[in-house]
Amino acid sequence: MRAKALLRLGRCDEKLGQQARQVYEQIVRDYADQPVAVQARTRLVALKQQDNPAVPTTMTARKIEWHSVGSMAASDTDGQRAVYRDADGSLYSGDLAGHTKRLVWKLGAKDQIGWYPSRDFSLVALILQGKDNPKMATLAVVNADGSGYRELIHDDARGIPFYGVQAAWSWDNRFLVVSSVPEDKDNRIVLVSVADGKQRELAKSESPVDRFAKAVISPDGQFIAYEALSNSANPVQIFVAPIRGGDHQLAYEPTPNGIKLLRQHSSLLD
């Protein structure tokens, strides 16, 4: 009778949202030779599955509304936080519900800018186009609250003129990988240190019609994947290469008889 009472106590604790595991473990330990022990073991297995749910076999979708906060791309939000451009032209960070709103960078409505939040939304990389020459730009980083602005690459007289196309953060926030088009030079992909702005070239186009659309860094920081665009028969190709140097392996290209992967309908994410 005591074992049955403990089993009922455990079920009551479950319904009340309280800890029932210890009660079931006591039944299994003290009354292992009784039928209620089988039921207690079953409940322990069920509780373990609740604590460690299996990975779903199908994908789930959730609609993310962001029209109420401002202009952004899919990579500018994680579904809760976001970095967006408001109607006044300035760049802000905050939650999608609009309860928090912090100024990241003040801009006019006609000013051109590219922005790329880090994965934890603590930092934002900025590509600021030159006012006198839109083909030149400055790569900078700033904290999500607008503090700590510093320039990493600047098109001054001492350096190579820089025109940033896209940027992506490493998972540890230490580097930016940037697809850039220097003035009068081949397209290239460079790895930029966030600490000091030092650059290292990772890829360079072999043809004047080729260009790099985007590059991303693997979670372990050992590889990059990048899109190469051209006017050839295969307009979009994706390559993977070691960051420390090595062969660039073709990972994807459209099949000759298949549907062409149109640039406006694709985006390399991870």
Report pLDDT for 102.
93
Average confidence score pLDDT of the chain? 81
Burial 193-209 (b: 16+ CB within 10 A, else e): ebeebebeebbebeeee
Cα–Cα distance measured from residue 177 to residue 167, given in angstroms and rounded to the nearest whole number: 6
pLDDT number for residue 103: 94
Helix, strand and coil in the chain, % to nearest 5: 15, 35, 50
What's the residue count for the chain?
270
In this structure, whether the domain defined by 112-265 belongs to CATH 2.120.10.30 is answered with yes
> What does the alpha-carbon distance between residue 197 and residue 69 come to, in Å, rounded to a whole number?
32
pTM of the entire structure? 0.69
Q: How far apart are CA 245 and CA 33, in angstroms?
A: 64
User: Which pLDDT belongs to residue 263?
Assistant: 47
* Listed range (16-20, 83-87, 146-150, 215-219) with the worst mean pLDDT: 16-20
CA distance 89 to 266: 27
* pLDDT at residue number 129: 75
- Half-sphere CA count of 55, side-chain side, radius 13 A: 0
90-98 long-range Cβ contacts below 8 angstroms, 24+ apart = 91/115, 91/124, 91/126, 93/117, 93/121, 93/124, 93/144, 93/145, 94/69, 96/64, 96/65, 96/66, 96/68, 96/69, 98/68, 98/69
Spans of all domains in the chain:
2-51, 112-265
Q: Which residue has the higher pLDDT, 115 or 56?
A: 115
Task: Convert the pLDDT of each residue in 96-112 to its tens digit.
Answer: 877 889 999 998 877 88
